[in-house]
Amino acid sequence: MSSSERSPEILVYEDSGHFKAADLCRAFPDLTIHDPGRGIAAPACAGKSEILIGLAHEITDDLVAAMPRLRWIASLSTGVDHLWTLKSLKADVRVTNGRGIHGPQMAELAFMFMIGLSRDFNLMRENQKNHVWKRRLQPVLVGKTIVMAGVGIISEEIARRCKAFGMRVIGVSNARNSAPGFDQILPRAKLLEAAGMADFLVVLTPLDATTRHMIGAPVFAAMKPSAFIINIARGDVVDESAMISALREKRIAGAGLDVYSHEPPRDDNPLWDMPNVMMSPRIGGMSDIYADQILPVVEHNLRAYLDDNMDGMRNIAR
């Protein structure tokens, strides 16, 4: 069936700036595209729609249950593990994600943490607040070693920028033994060896049964006291209790965290008040150009869908 013969209705369940339904309407003026925003568990248009566009973690079981015609979920985010927990999601529903678009913002976040931690921006801010003028020699990134646990598109973006700063780049991965911008890639079995070389250990590994608490007490014991841990992947890839102990005992120099074992962290989580910790509220994948970054992926996949070419879609998660 050609695209001219198909006119599926689309539900855009997003209103936080990650996607602009109006852009899709301009590209596909003949389609019915509903844009009710979030906050409605199951808008009236859900029952008619066979395509759902939104951030995977915001899609609820009630919403999916209200969409008997659902054939495709276009997740605007990369992680779609939340969708596999939905009881109403049928096995034949195609799922795509936003993989490959987050490199610029994730790389810049990694550099914010590396520079901010090494130069102790927390102390600078405290001194500014208290009108304290205190100078010290400033650490530089040139000559430092970054170890990235996980080697993918985002890691390559970070590696390219690290080379511009004169850094040594090491990866840890079982899937690849070379990648652009990397000086060396070690298998996961040599994680402790790699951690011992790191000035910055950056966690970029997806969360699954094999990576849960992969960065734990043995890794922190292998790191140099002057090294920093940076987690911009998933909270539970890092054993948070072991990390807190390492930070308290000054067995590592500090941590830059965008993700946590519980989000948001509870009020009594000691990370909030640690002077050697920089925290951000899971903003790694966010950017002020996100809607522009994701639109080409959604447009391509929608054209494939209309042409009944589901296998021609990009970023197929299932």
So what's the pLDDT on residue 16? 87
So what's the pLDDT on residue 1? 37
So what's the pLDDT on residue 196? 98
- pTM, entire model: 0.90
Closest CA to 59 of 106, 11, 9, 23: 11
Name beta bridge partners: 49: 9
Burial of 219 (0-12, 13-18, 19+ CB in 10 A): buried
So what's the pLDDT on residue 301? 98
With helix as H, strand as E and coil as C, how does 131-153 read? CCCCCCCCCCCCCCEEEEECCCH
Cα–chain center distance at 201:
16
CB neighbourhood size of 258 (10 A): 24
CA within 13 Å, CB half, 198: 32
DSSP string, the chain: --GGG---EEEEE--SSS--HHHHHHH-TTSEEE---SS-SS-GGGGGEEEEEE-GGG--HHHHHT-TT--EEEESSS--GGGGG-TT--TT-EEE--TTS-HHHHHHHHHHHHHHHHTTHHHHHHHHHTT-----PPP-STT-EEEEES-SHHHHHHHHHHHHTT-EEEEE-SS-S--TT-SEEE-GGGHHHHHHH-SEEEE-PPPSTTTTT-B-HHHHHHS-TT-EEEE-S-GGGB-HHHHHHHHHTTSSSEEEES--SSSSPPTT-GGGG-TTEEE--S-TT--TTHHHHHHHHHHHHHHHHHTT-GGG-SSB--
Cα–chain center distance at 185:
21
What residue ranges of the chain have pLDDT lower than 50? Answer: 1-4
Closest CA to 269 of 249, 241, 246, 233: 241
So what's the pLDDT on residue 2? 41
Fold that domain 103-279 belongs to in CATH = Rossmann fold (3.40.50)
The CATH label, of 3.40.50.20, 1.10.3980.10, 1.20.1740.10, 3.40.50.720, for the domain at 3-101+290-312 is 3.40.50.720
What are the extents of the domains in the chain? 3-101+290-312, 103-279
Q: Which tokens is 123 given?
A: 């102390």
